[in-house]
């Protein structure tokens, strides 16, 4: 079974600075998706960024980028120019590309605080 680990329960960053959230995963599959979701106090789960495992190029979305190391099974999220609105729980998630529905695995989350 796949597992997702986020070793940092809490992180903090100064406004306008850069922070990196770590995520590692375990799988025997070669084709899959990885995601970072943001959950603000409103509890809505918001997709931040998505990476397809067969793509070597790291995904980027504005101030958010990932460092995807497939061999190391590592998928970290970098937030540049942090803003107060970035404060939230961040979940790393894995999904099998071929096994629909069943294998969507979330990590335990990292709570990010942004200091003014």
Partner 1 sequence: NAGVTQTPKFRILKIGQSMTLQCTQDMNHNYMYWYRQDPGMGLKLIYYSVGAGITDKGEVPNGYNVSRSTTEDFPLRLELAAPSQTSVYFCASSRDSRWYFGPGTRLTVT
> Which residue ranges make up the site for partner 1 (CB under 8 A)?
4, 9, 33, 35, 37, 42-47, 50, 52, 91, 93, 95, 97, 100-102, 104-109
Q: Is 86 in a helix, a strand, or coil?
A: helix
- Least Å distance, CB 99 to partner 1, is 11
Give 79 or 93: the residue with its C-beta nearer to partner 1. Answer: 93
Q: Specify which residues 47 forms β-bridges with.
A: 37
Is residue 42 classed as helix, strand or coil in its secondary structure? coil
Residue located via tokens 């600075």 = 17
- C-beta of residue 25 within 8 angstroms of C-beta of residue 91: no
Least Å from the CB of residue 91 to partner 1: 6
On whether the CB atoms of residues 10 and 89 are closer than 8 A, the answer is no
Q: Indicate the residue among 19 and 107 with the shorter CB distance to partner 1.
A: 107
Whichever of 87 and 95 has its CB closer to partner 1, that residue is 95
What is the distance, to the nearest Å, from the Cα of residue 98 to the centroid of all Cα atoms in its chain? 21
Q: Which is nearer to partner 1, 75 or 91 (CB)?
A: 91
């Amino acid at each position: 079974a796949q597992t997702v680990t986020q070793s940092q329960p809490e992180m903090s960053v100064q406004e306008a600075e850069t922070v990196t959230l770590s995520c590692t995963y375990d799988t025997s599959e070669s084709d899959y998706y990885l995601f970072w979701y943001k959950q603000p106090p409103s509890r809505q789960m918001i997709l931040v960024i998505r990476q397809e495992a067969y793509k070597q190029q790291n995904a980027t979305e504005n101030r958010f980028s990932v460092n995807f190391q497939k061999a190391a099974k590592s998928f970290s999220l970098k937030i540049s120019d942090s803003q107060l609105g970035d404060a939230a729980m961040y979940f790393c998630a894995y999904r099998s590309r071929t096994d629909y529905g069943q294998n969507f695995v979330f990590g335990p989350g990292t709570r990010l605080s942004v200091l003014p």
